[in-house]
Chain A
Amino acid sequence: MMSESDTVIPESGAQASANSPRGEDTAARREADHPHSAVVTFGADKPLRLDAGGVLTPFQIAYQTYGTPNAARSNAILLCHALSGDQHVANAHPVTGKPGWWETLVGPGKPIDTDRFFVICSNVLGGCLGTTGPSSMNPATGQPYGLDLPVVTIRDMVRAQSMLIDHLGIEKLLAVVGGSMGGMQVLQWAASYPERVFAAMPLATAARHSAQNIAFHEVGRQAVMADPDWRGGRYLAEDTAPRRGLSVARMAAHITYMSDSSLHRKFGRRLQDRDGHTFSFDADFQVESYLRHQGEAFVDRFDANSYLYVTRAMDYFDLAADYGGVLANAFKGTKTRFCLVSFTSDWLFPTQDSRAVVHALNAAGASVSFAEVETDKGHDAFLLEEPELFAITRGFLDAAARTVGVA
């Protein structure tokens, strides 16, 4: 099982090499322009307007679908992935070969039942798995965009997704579901296109990125940019990659996806394949070895500039700011029904963030459910085996499907 923070413990306790061969990089690189996914390209006739100003054209979206649309095309569920996720929700990952990141929740007979629903997930704008992002080829130069790509926002991502949904001939989505940054997209969908969203499920998320979360992201970005191999963002053209920097960024971020008690439960102070301290800066502790592995594994599948762009999009997210500072105004008159879920040990997107959204939805008179799930797994809980989350998701989506008349 893969999660936003991958939970596999490395078998070898060896220090992760910061200079592994570039073979795996190539596989990841290929995904940027020629992904193992369906791709739709929007040409000059369909430019993407960006919040930063100007338009992006041409651009492409890579996406996966599961299940089949019904005759009325009323059974479509859009899933929005998180910062380090991608469109490979319920199939083996083309680069890592690992199972999809939400196979716990999505599949035949699962709460998001692909036997009943037509499930769609696209790589976000700014990503590196086939949707236009900084590692994509800039048609104007024949080189990867790098930092020439305008900075994108959550709203830009959602605007691009709405063009994909148009392309797929779907007028109204039965549901939009996502956690963390995916949850931000869900909220943006509900605010921007209320008439196109019957049910919205933002999980472990917030209507704005907190100062603490911006701070963590800044640490990650500085780690990338401090790596001499970042080359001012032009590393792809110079055939290198800021592996150390991105790896450190991932290690720091990974800690924020867990909790003190889950780290303690998994690792405690246990040593990694050794009987005593080595009195060196080797990875003596299991938790160190684990983090190094996480950093390394991430670098193999993720582009460093994408990491800068996507974290920035989250930082800029403040839904209320687009509506005169009053979050309730973002949902005024909405007919969408909402179900929010938070997790007790999530300190990255704590329950109070979800509650603020619930209060705004109440003020807007929206139909809203909100549950807090007790777990020690931290922010990552939304990606993991959480029976209560599964039961809530199934119940909420079943009720929505019943109301819409989806068999």
Chain B
Amino acid sequence: MMSPRDLAINDMTMREAARAASGARVDLLLIAEMVKPGSRVLDVGSGDGELLELLATTRGCDARGIELSREGVNAGVARGLAIIQGDADIDLADYPDDSFDYVILSQTIQATRRPKWVLDQMLRVGRHAIVSFPNFGFWRMRMDLLLNGRMPSTDNLPYSWHDTPNIHFCTIRDFVALVEEIDARIDHAAALNGNGTPVRFNLPWAVWNLLGEQAVFLLSRKG
């Protein structure tokens, strides 16, 4: 298995954290930083369009979204964003190959029914995929389960186990294993600690897996 040290990681500095204080979510800023200005982007699970707006205004992107919830779509379209009401588990199949430079899945992979299929489709439809997700290997999750013996719930993941859209949790190491299984390449990775600040050093996955509350990966097709 690769380690973050094998990657040319452009270590996320406090700069992004500082910008996060200006309003936008840190993970969204991290994602926006990974996107080349002026590119074509599809955001899968775009909510009410916060990331789409960020990409359009700060990176000059042609940014489009798919969102499952009717409220999210309607709010986003009313803001003038190109969002369609649809289901990542089904609708990605309709997009032609290479129709986007980046396909983004932000805090959504754990809510898909077929994460592997979705990831495959993302790398078919886009030349790059960017995936951010809550790391179930985060130490507080582990402590919760170890000490309380209850399914963990955090500020980011407030749902109870029986009433949650999140059906496919994974850890950073699980995700890296999936990336290897679909034969994709990790171009870039970042982890955010419990304070929402990026983990600064290139440490082995095992350490990120413990310290990272969230992770962001930039993937590409091999070859």
Does A25 have its Cβ within 8 Å of any Cβ on chain B?
no
Closest to A361 in B: B84
Does B160 have its Cβ within 8 Å of any Cβ on chain A?
no
Interface SS majority for chain B: mixed
Q: A358-B86, A394-B78 are in contact. Are A372 and B62 (CB under 8 A)?
A: no
Which B49-98 residues sit within 8 Å CB-CB of chain A?
62, 64, 70, 73-74, 77-86, 91, 94-96
Contact in complex: A369, B81 (CB < 8 Å): yes
Closest to A364 in B: B96
| Cα-based distance from A394 to B74 in the complex (angstroms) | 12
| Cα-based distance from A208 to B78 in the complex (angstroms) | 27
Interface footprint category on B? 20 to 34
| Cα-based distance from A396 to B62 in the complex (angstroms) | 15
Contact in complex: A371, B99 (CB < 8 Å): no
Residue-wise, chain A 320-344 has the 8 Å CB interface mask toward B (1 for contact) of 0000000000000000010100000
Does A367 have its Cβ within 8 Å of any Cβ on chain B?
yes
Does A139 have its Cβ within 8 Å of any Cβ on chain B?
no
A365 contacts which of B77, B79, B96 (Cβ < 8 Å)? B96
Contact in complex: A399, B80 (CB < 8 Å): yes
Contact in complex: A395, B79 (CB < 8 Å): yes
Contact in complex: A395, B94 (CB < 8 Å): no
B60 CB, nearest partner CB in chain A, Å: 13
Contact in complex: A367, B85 (CB < 8 Å): no
Contact in complex: A369, B95 (CB < 8 Å): no
Interface SS majority for chain A: helix
Closest to B73 in A: A371
Contact in complex: B74, A362 (CB < 8 Å): no
Contact in complex: A396, B94 (CB < 8 Å): no
| Cα-based distance from A374 to B71 in the complex (angstroms) | 10
| Cα-based distance from A355 to B87 in the complex (angstroms) | 11
A188 CB, nearest partner CB in chain B, Å: 21
Which residues of the other chain, B, contact A398 by a CB distance below 8 angstroms?
Answer: 80
Contact in complex: A371, B64 (CB < 8 Å): no
Contact in complex: A362, B95 (CB < 8 Å): yes
Interface footprint category on A? 20 to 34
Does A370 have its Cβ within 8 Å of any Cβ on chain B?
yes
Contact in complex: A369, B79 (CB < 8 Å): no
Q: Which of B79, B81, B85 has the most CB of A within 10 A?
A: B85
Which residues of the other chain, A, contact B64 by a CB distance below 8 angstroms?
Answer: 367-368
Which A373-391 residues sit within 8 Å CB-CB of chain B?
373-374, 388, 391
Q: A365-B99, A402-B80 are in contact. Are A370 and B94 (CB under 8 A)?
A: no
Closest to B79 in A: A395
Q: A371-B74, A371-B77, A391-B78 are in contact. Are A359 and B83 (CB under 8 A)?
A: no
Closest to A393 in B: B78
Does A215 have its Cβ within 8 Å of any Cβ on chain B?
no
| Cα-based distance from A162 to B77 in the complex (angstroms) | 28
Does A363 have its Cβ within 8 Å of any Cβ on chain B?
yes
Does A252 have its Cβ within 8 Å of any Cβ on chain B?
no
Closest to B76 in A: A369
Which residues of the other chain, B, contact A396 by a CB distance below 8 angstroms?
Answer: 77, 80
| Cα-based distance from A235 to B95 in the complex (angstroms) | 53
Contact in complex: B96, A363 (CB < 8 Å): yes
A372 contacts which of B82, B85, B95 (Cβ < 8 Å)? B85
Does A165 have its Cβ within 8 Å of any Cβ on chain B?
no
A382 CB, nearest partner CB in chain B, Å: 15
Which residues of the other chain, A, contact B80 by a CB distance below 8 angstroms?
Answer: 395-396, 398-399, 402
Contact in complex: A395, B77 (CB < 8 Å): yes
| Cα-based distance from A362 to B91 in the complex (angstroms) | 10
Residue-wise, chain A 280-294 has the 8 Å CB interface mask toward B (1 for contact) of 000000000000000
Q: A372-B70, A391-B74 are in contact. Are A367 and B82 (CB under 8 A)?
A: yes
Closest to B100 in A: A365
A313 CB, nearest partner CB in chain B, Å: 29
Which residues of the other chain, B, contact A365 by a CB distance below 8 angstroms?
Answer: 96, 99
A365 CB, nearest partner CB in chain B, Å: 5
Does A392 have its Cβ within 8 Å of any Cβ on chain B?
yes
A362-B94, A370-B73, A372-B85 are known contacts; what are 9 more A-B pairs with Cβ within 8 Å? A358-B84, A358-B86, A363-B95, A371-B77, A371-B83, A371-B85, A374-B70, A391-B78, A395-B78
18 inter-chain pairs at a CB distance below 8 angstroms, sorted by A residue, are A339-B77, A358-B84, A359-B91, A363-B94, A367-B62, A367-B82, A368-B64, A368-B82, A368-B84, A369-B77, A369-B81, A369-B83, A370-B86, A391-B74, A392-B74, A392-B77, A394-B78, A396-B80
Please report A residues at the B interface, Cβ cutoff 8 Å. 337, 339, 355, 358-359, 362-363, 365, 367-374, 388, 391-392, 394-396, 398-399, 402
